[in-house]
Amino acid sequence: MKPLPQISEAEFEVMKIIWKHAPISTNEITEKLTQTTKWSPKTIQTLIKRLVTKGALSYEKQSRVFVYTPLIEEKEYIGQESHSFLERYYNGHITAMLSAYIEDDKLSESEIDTLRSLLAKGSKDRGN
């Protein structure tokens, strides 16, 4: 499997809009991001161009408008980033990460209950 492109935090914000609304035009991306960031339209266009160069987006010119579509799946990218995070900070051990979160009271009771449900479901799905 080909490694996914490295995407900066700012580029990730652009990708979230595109994943949610694709296919989407430059003007629509700009409109949505200027509502939630202080970025100028020029900055947003630069981020879009970088994402095209990195192979994260494709575009098509429709009349005078550029319309963008993601070339990578959101779930796939987030999975890669989650794995990298685990490797970098917890030597790849999810139990070490969860223990740290639980010990530092960073997980609510409701989040812990959700994790229990997910683990139980995962166990059943594997036939254990």
Confidence of residue 70 (pLDDT cuts 50, 70, 90): very high
Mean pLDDT of 39-62: 97
Domain ranges within the chain, ordered by starting residue: 9-70, 74-125
Distances 98 to 85, 110, 118, 123 between C-alpha atoms, Å = 13, 14, 14, 18
Say what the pLDDT of residue 57 is. 97
Distance CA 23, CA 13 (A): 16
**Structure tokens given for 95:** 């139990």
Distance CA 42, CA 40 (A): 5
Say what the pLDDT of residue 68 is. 98
Confidence of residue 83 (pLDDT cuts 50, 70, 90): confident
Distances 64 to 22, 61, 117 between C-alpha atoms, Å = 18, 7, 50
Distance CA 126, CA 71 (A): 31
> What are the beta bridge partners of residue 68?
24, 59
Say what the pLDDT of residue 8 is. 94
Distances 76 to 4, 16, 26, 88 between C-alpha atoms, Å = 9, 13, 24, 18
CATH 3.20.20.140 is held by the domain 9-70: no
Mean pLDDT of 81-86: 86
For domain 74-125, the CATH superfamily is Penicillinase repressor domain (1.10.4040.10)
